[in-house]
Amino acid sequence: MSARPVTRRRRTRRPVAAAWAVGALCCALALSGCSQDGGATPGPSPSADRDASAAPRPSPPEPSPVDDAGPDLPDVDRTDPEQVAAAFVHGFVHRAPDDPTVREYLRLVEPFTTERLLTELRESTEEWCDRSCREERERGVRVSADAVTPAISDAAPRTEDEVWVQVSYEMAWSWPGGGDSMPAGVSLKLVRADGTWRVDRRTTAG
């Protein structure tokens, strides 16, 4: 089997109580996410100087390219099924207290997912943040996939346009003053269309 780790920035973690780690894991596996109560962003002062208001306004920033699926995700060669599988896992596991919605992970995995699987994930994800997820937000908990390593087994079913990729990783939780992690894995079926690969099915590794 071929395996190649995908580099990702790691955070410093310290051991914490097992009870909190278990609670965070339940929320993570349920993919309930955490909503953000968005407060109003302060606007410009009404007493701004007239000369300043007459000055030309700067152009809005250019939108991020679709390949940039998030600040924590690596650059991805979509013609390589292993890289696509790793990027999917990074986005799928992600959760942060400053996520704009509980469905932020869907935005992150969208560039690497078929429409069929994306619809399935969207329909299975709640739109609100439950009690445990609100507690995570208050504690500043972040969830990430570290040491992501995709591999295609020589014995795995494969055709020219379909392949199964096994991905192992460390599911990591971090919060101010501590963190925890545990090994995890998933099997992903990827399909190729127009020369690029997308994840079409996922099964949790036993």
Residue 162 lies inside a defined structural domain of this protein? yes
Residue 160 lies inside a defined structural domain of this protein? yes
Residue 54 lies inside a defined structural domain of this protein? no
- Residue 19: predicted pLDDT: 37
Residue 173 lies inside a defined structural domain of this protein? yes
Q: Indicate if the pLDDT at residue 130 is higher than 50.
A: yes
In contact, 185 and 168? CB cutoff 8 Å:
yes
Output the average pLDDT for the chain.
74
Domains held by the chain: number: 1
Each residue's pLDDT tens digit, 149-198: 999 999 988 999 999 999 999 999 999 999 999 999 999 999 999 999 99
Angle at 168 between CA 103 and CA 152, to 5 degrees: 110
Q: Which two tokens stand for residue 106?
A: 């869907």
Residue 41 lies inside a defined structural domain of this protein? no
Range(s) of the domain holding residue 141? 2-8+17-34+67-204
The 10 Å Cβ neighbour count of residue 182 is 10
For residues 117 and 107, what is the distance between their CA atoms, to the nearest angstrom? 13
Each residue's pLDDT tens digit, 71-110: 455 589 999 999 999 999 999 999 999 998 888 999 999 9
In contact, 180 and 21? CB cutoff 8 Å:
yes
- Residue 205: predicted pLDDT: 56
CATH value at residue 105: 3.10.450.540
Residue 166 lies inside a defined structural domain of this protein? yes
Residue 48 lies inside a defined structural domain of this protein? no
For residues 124 and 63, what is the distance between their CA atoms, to the nearest angstrom? 29
Residue 55 lies inside a defined structural domain of this protein? no
Name the burial class of residue 64, with classes exposed (0-12), middle (13-18) and buried (19+) by CB atoms within 10 angstroms of its CB. Answer: exposed
